[in-house]
């Protein structure tokens, strides 16, 4: 299944289903990649990651981690590479766990970020329920 970045203007609502399509499993953990999160929050990746780095003590390894080159290449192969998804970048992307996204919500204070964060949390819970029901 191909994942697409959701480019929405401020008047467009993002659904929980839109968010669920962006959640990937890396290292056995469900995460959202920084580029997808920035797109959902309608901010630049650089801006979001700068906020994270300024508050790095809030993001231990189980909240956020940087992908290895192998993980990034695997992700590109799974989803297809496009300029929309990020293409080739110097820095490897960061992956945010549900807890990391919760922490990120305290740093990004716009109304778009607040509304989006609610949908992201609902998407994670929905996927966890689905996985639990499948076992």
Q: Give the predicted TM-score (pTM) of the model.
A: 0.79
Higher pLDDT, 23 or 130: 23
Express each pLDDT in 72-104 by its tens digit.
999 888 766 544 444 455 789 999 999 999 999
Express each pLDDT in 30-71 by its tens digit.
999 999 999 999 999 999 999 999 999 999 999 999 999 999
The number of beta carbons lying within 10 Å of the beta carbon of residue 90 is 4
Distance CA 116, CA 95 (A): 17
Distance CA 96, CA 64 (A): 4
């Amino acid at each position: 299944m191909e994942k697409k970045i959701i480019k929405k203007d401020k008047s467009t609502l993002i659904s929980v289903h839109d968010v669920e399509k962006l959640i990937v499993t890396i290292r056995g953990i469900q995460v959202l990649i920084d580029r997808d999160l920035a797109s959902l929050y309608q901010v630049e990746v650089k801006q979001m990651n700068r906020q994270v780095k300024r508050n790095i003590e809030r993001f231990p390894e189980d909240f956020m981690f940087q992908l290895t080159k192998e993980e990034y290449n695997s992700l590109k192969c799974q989803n297809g590479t496009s300029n929309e998804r990020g293409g080739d970048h110097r820095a490897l992307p960061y992956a945010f766990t549900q807890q990391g996204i919760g922490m990120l919500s305290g740093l990004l204070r716009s109304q778009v970020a607040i509304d989006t964060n609610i949908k992201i949390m609902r998407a994670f819970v929905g996927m966890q329920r689905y996985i639990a029901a499948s076992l």
